[in-house]
Chain A
Amino acid sequence: MNTVNVKINNREYAVPANSTVLEAARYAGIDIPTLCYLKDINEIGACRLCLVEVKGARGLVTACVYPVNEGMEIFTNTPKIRNARKMNLELVLSAHKKKCLTCIRSTTCELQSLCNEYGVDEDFFKGRTNHYDLDTSTPYIVRDNEKCILCRRCVAACKNMQGIGVIGANDRGFDTHIASAFEKSLDETSCIGCGQCIVACPVGALYEKDDTAKVLEALADPTKHVVICTAPSVRATIGECFDYAPGTDVEGKMVSAIKALGFEGVYDMNLTADLTIMEEATEFLERMKEGKNLPLITSCSPGWIKYCEHYFPEFTDNLSTCKSPQQMFGAMFKTYYAEKMGIDPKDIFFVSAIPCTAKKFEVTRDHQSAAGVPDVDVAITTRELARMIKQAGIEFRTLEDGKFDNPFDIGSGAGAIFGATGGVMEAALRTAAEVIEGKKLEKLDFDDVRGTQGIKRATYKLGGKEIRVAVASGTANAKRLLESVKNGEKVDFIEIMACPGGCVNGGGQPTQPAVVRNNVNLRELRAKVLYTADKNMDVRKSHENSAVKKIYDEYFGHPGSHKAHEVLHTSYVKRGL
């Protein structure tokens, strides 16, 4: 590594030659505050909080974009700098709706913690503010522009990271605000609901539509059977809301906490992840046989589904007709299980805990009500689940480990890895390979489809036939991949997840401040939880999951059966732009 010698606050350091002042300071153990900077996606130097003094430079220097050079002398903590930061924050506060006590981001707000650190006088500047209506038009995202500080991280997430760009800066000067074209509400745009804008937001200007009240109401209703099912990746992240380091598996405590909330049943979505694989692998083998609607593209990610319907409607026939694991669980529960237990599906209140905001939209879709009532009643994000646990006064960290409820407590390692990009593909390959080859796989790890890169490609020889697979996460990567397919790239099977890195990095996951996002590979840490769980499981293949076998034996018959299609499959629409 090439290094240069710099002085930071009068101490000498050798730092990587191509680093910025911000990175160099970080290297020296000094955090320079930022509000707008997100590495690689939002390097616009707009918030002006990261200003530092550099000897010999004309004026203050923007640390987030300013490159270091040999002999540079940097000062990050002079009176001038402290005053500048304080005044910056006071200005930002003067245009900010200061409803901090009740704000959903109170204590996780980056602006709030900086204001604390710098001893800001929140009334130093008084003056006009702009009024904006709250946008509550979608079932998943709420935008409160009166809290927006115009860091544009959401715009960068939507446009630069996801390649969508349904929001942007409108008007100019003091009236600049983030919104959709022509001030349309979000539901009138081609927003896919991925929620990446929410996790990018440093303040409380963007948040999920809170559905916890509905859940609490149902829990208080004695006539309802209220059950919940948690997605694979929630256990890998919810610990972050209770001060665990990113990448801590808290499955047991999570289950205990949910039980303490009073749910009648707590189930593991890994099961329907396996069910999905059974259906999808079957579908894939059929399509391969018929040579129709290939490549098959996975359908687990509702953000991706909406993306496909808006931006690539020509590919909707390639989508697997399988419902997502969330919807499969609700559908199966309200048909098979309700029948089995003699419960009226109308009396079941099915909650799913998911890392995803798009799933809040998914529950409202057509053809997602196998028992004549919605498969899933409410989808709550990891953040909402954590809030419910906190509100109930449950001491998460001191809980004993609990276990998912029978008879759905069995999930395979294949289901577990659904939460990471490439996981669905790997799970499907494990099953498809054994079905095609008719013998046990020696090596279960399909390393080529693992990892956090945006697009992964691999070719496997199964049953003497070459199967070309591709995996994309993040819709910008999906776009690149699909454009390439349109231009003639031959692929048989594609996994796409709307969020970069897959569900572990979903829009419903715990927010982390920029300083963590910029310096820690959250996706990798969180995904590791899932791959470790997979490795330690007895059952690592969906088709070997005994619970899955039982469900087929007792209800659906075999994968792809008529009944399975009625309950576990769905349809899509071509939305266009």
Chain B
Amino acid sequence: MIKNLADLAQVREKMQGKITFRRHNPGTEVTDGNVRKHVLICGGTGCTSSKSVQIKEKMEKCLVEAGIADEIQVVMTGCFGLCALGPIMIVYPEGTFYSRIHVDDVEEIVKEHLVGGNPVKRLLYAETVKGDEILSLNETAFYKKQHRVALRNCGVINPECIQEYIGTGGYLALGKVLNEMKPQEVIDVISASGLRGRGGGGFPTGRKWQFAAAQPAGKKYVVCNADEGDPGAFMDRSVLEGDPHAVLEAMAIAGYAIGADEGYIYVRAEYPIAVHRLQIAIAQAREEGLLGKDIFGTGFCFDIQLRLGAGAFVCGEETALLTSIEGNRGEPRPRPPFPAVKGLFGKPTIINNVETYANVCQIILNGADWFASMGTEKSKGTKVFALGGKITNTGLVEIPMGTTLREVVEEIGGGVPNGKKFKAAQTGGPSGGCIPASKFDIAIDYDNLIANGSMMGSGGLIVMDEDTCMVDLAKFFLEFTVDESCGKCAPCRIGMVRLLELLEKITSGNGEMEDLDKLEELANYIKSASLCGLGQTAPNPVLSTLANFRDEYIAHIKDKRCPAGVCKKLLTYNIDPDKCKGCTMCARKCPASAISGQVKTAHVIDHTKCVKCGACIETCKFGAIYKK
């Protein structure tokens, strides 16, 4: 039980060794008692699904067998970020980075590396091997330009151990706030830091807190939006899985700042590991007296409830999230009144997302100036992005605001694979838009993205190459938002369906040029008239592709052609008679019996029968079948 700052310091001092061991700079001496090495295994969702739990169990077993279980500490951490290379394992103090390891590799690592002292080179991340030299992780392109604030403890600590969190300086910010600062001073620091909401809108966090603090004293709530629902985005999940206490601590600080004694975390039920770790973290924090009554003996009380979503993207919208916590259909409600005035259960409420909270403690500890020194004029600090799509290093990155899109894609992300050309990057998920190659050099921040027809969103960044059809992409996002529209307001409920139908008309070759005007008019109407953020942003994928790739739309309409070769109804499958060997494989595979031809003579596809399933292309060993 931690009753005061001295108790906290005691735990911190005890644990500090372990943490510096894992954060160590090569060349300096570090020790952790009898423990020689720390083996960190990623326990994020990505790596767990490629068996990192089994790897950990095997590792522990092998260490016992090798008789060195006392000397090696095995830690399951949160996400390291380089999900494309999972499962990942890092050995400290040297910082050797193993990637794509298999359960069967564990024995070798124990024997060669942990006992023998020689890293298993064939299992190392190729970029860290330079001849005989093994580089530290921080020297790789993926990590070099990153700056980890929100993710600082992810992949460093055991998220299921509150002591390790305290060892990193955890709960020190809460202690400082409760013992040394007035609520208004806390808000002032957050305001001065320039922190803006990381969930999408980019509203200044300090101002949000100020509104809630200004409400008459009484019951107030602090809510954490962990209903991360954008397809391909997993920033918040990684923070919750890797550093749950950072969120709890920040919520308590927010509670102190606005005068709330209760918090809710609304987390997607699709994130079982995050939920599990949050449950553990809340229980541990209560046990240590860091949540509950009379925290740090200051009389401040704050506790946190966990609420699980049940599969509704719209609940990421703040008012829908509140109605959902209240036990209703997750339908948004009109604002005003804003949650800061009338929120959860009708009480003043602040809602911030996970990543926003993950910045708070660092700002308190390091000061507003430190935070404001990173980033651009109006976008301070760093931002976490989930890189996905046609990019080599799929994974999680945290970069200072103002980093260019090119740096993120080409340097950190390792570029577009298979020699394909970068076509566009989609940010902001279904609410965002596309940044075309011509704007590859824009500095990423809130205002720049909006100026370029996209938005920050929660941080999904999907890269597209020349094989992506932009009309089809817009259709993909619209199918998603149509599915996820709550159905309350008419513009979104009906308008989005009509918008999708127009796209379907175009991608099936029935589009007319007037449809483009209709698309634009309707999309702009839905944006301006919808009740909530979902509807107000859902047409963005259409508008931004229309603005940047209008020629592709026109090709679909006028030439009845899909330039990227994606839209099925506009494609024909053909056999190149020069390449076809007449092996008959394709004819046998074709489900529609659309391919005919004699053995050893070129085959022909009957377009009236072809269902465009692509089975023939997959079958052909000679590359004789093409679509156009």
Contacts and interface: CB of A to CB of B under 8 A. Distances in A.
A95 interface: yes
A45 B486 contact: no
B491 A48 contact: yes
Contact of A128 (B489, B493, B501): B501
Main SS of the interface on chain B?
helix
Nearest to A171: B487
Interface in A41-82: 44-48, 51, 59-60, 62, 65-67, 80
Contacts of A48: 489-491, 529-531
Interface string A80-91: 100110011001
B329 interface: yes
Contact of A173 (B333, B493, B529): B493
Contacts of A95: 494
Interface in B484-512: 484-491, 493-498, 501
B490 A84 contact: no
A150 B488 CA distance: 8
Interface in B331-390: 331, 333-334, 336
B528 A59 contact: yes
B158 to A, nearest CB: 40
B99 interface: no
Nearest to B493: A174
A92 interface: yes
B483 interface: yes
A127 interface: yes
A92 B525 CA distance: 13
Given A46-B531, A60-B528, A91 B336 contact: no
Interface size class of B (residues with CB under 8 A): 20 to 34
Interface centre among A60, A128, A169, A173 (most CB of B within 10 A): A173
B625 interface: no
A279 B275 CA distance: 66
Contacts of A538: none
Nearest to B329: A169
A169 B522 contact: no
Nearest to B483: A173
Contact of B490 (A47, A127, A169): A47
A173 B491 contact: no
A159 B59 CA distance: 60
Contacts of A132: none
Contact of B531 (A45, A80, A149): A45
A169 B494 CA distance: 16
B485 A127 contact: no
A94 B498 contact: yes
B226 interface: no
B290 interface: no
Contacts of B521: 87
A62 B532 CA distance: 11
Contact of A65 (B329, B334, B483): B334
A91 B208 CA distance: 35
Interface string B501-545: 100000000000000000001100100111100001000000000
B409 interface: no
Contact of B484 (A94, A128, A173): A173
A244 interface: no
Contact of B333 (A44, A51, A94): A44
A46 B482 CA distance: 17
B491 A127 contact: no
A47 B488 CA distance: 8
A63 to B, nearest CB: 10
A175 interface: yes
Contacts of A150: 487-488, 490, 493
Given A67-B336, A169-B329, A174-B485, A88 B490 contact: yes
Nearest to A85: B529
A169 B487 CA distance: 9
Contact of B491 (A67, A88, A175): A88
B487 A60 contact: no
Interface in A154-190: 169, 171-176
Contacts of B536: 59
B229 to A, nearest CB: 14
Main SS of the interface on chain A?
loop
A66 B528 CA distance: 16
B312 interface: yes
A47 B491 CA distance: 8
A149 B493 contact: no
A128 B493 CA distance: 12
A149 B490 contact: yes
A125 interface: yes
Contact of B495 (A51, A91, A176): A91
Given A127-B498, A128-B497, A173-B485, A60 B329 contact: no
A174 B494 contact: yes
Contacts of A67: 336
Contact of A87 (B484, B488, B525, B530): B525
Contacts of A51: 528-529
Contact of B489 (A47, A66, A84): A47
A288 to B, nearest CB: 44
B484 to A, nearest CB: 7
Interface in B195-252: none
Contact of A91 (B329, B486, B490): B490
A205 to B, nearest CB: 14
Contact of B494 (A65, A80, A94, A171): A94
A149 B522 CA distance: 19
Nearest to A168: B329
Contacts of A60: 528-529
A46 B531 CA distance: 7
Interface in B406-458: none
A45 B489 contact: yes
Contacts of B522: 87, 125
A149 B483 CA distance: 19
A553 B3 CA distance: 89
A66 B525 contact: no
A149 B334 CA distance: 19
Contacts of B490: 46-48, 88, 91-92, 149-150
Interface centre among B490, B491, B498, B501 (most CB of A within 10 A): B490
Interface in A89-145: 91-92, 94-95, 125, 127-128
A127 B482 CA distance: 14
A174 B496 CA distance: 9
A542 to B, nearest CB: 48
B340 to A, nearest CB: 15
B586 to A, nearest CB: 36
Contact of A176 (B312, B484, B487): B487
Contacts of A88: 490-491, 525, 529
Contacts of A46: 488-490, 531
Interface centre among A51, A66, A91, A128 (most CB of B within 10 A): A91
B593 to A, nearest CB: 32
B526 to A, nearest CB: 9
A471 B363 CA distance: 61
Contacts of B525: 83-84, 87-88
A172 B491 contact: no
Nearest to A47: B490
A129 B217 CA distance: 50
A402 to B, nearest CB: 47
Interface string A398-428: 0000000000000000000000000000000
Q: Which 6 A-B pairs have the closest CB atoms?
A: A176-B487, A45-B334, A91-B494, A173-B485, A127-B501, A87-B525
Given A127-B501, A128-B501, 10 more contacts: A45-B489, A46-B489, A48-B530, A67-B336, A87-B521, A91-B491, A91-B494, A94-B494, A150-B488, A173-B484
14 contacts: A45-B489, A46-B488, A46-B531, A48-B490, A48-B491, A51-B528, A67-B336, A87-B525, A88-B525, A91-B490, A91-B495, A150-B487, A169-B329, A174-B485
Interface of A: 44-48, 51, 59-60, 62, 65-67, 80, 83-84, 87-88, 91-92, 94-95, 125, 127-128, 149-150, 169, 171-176
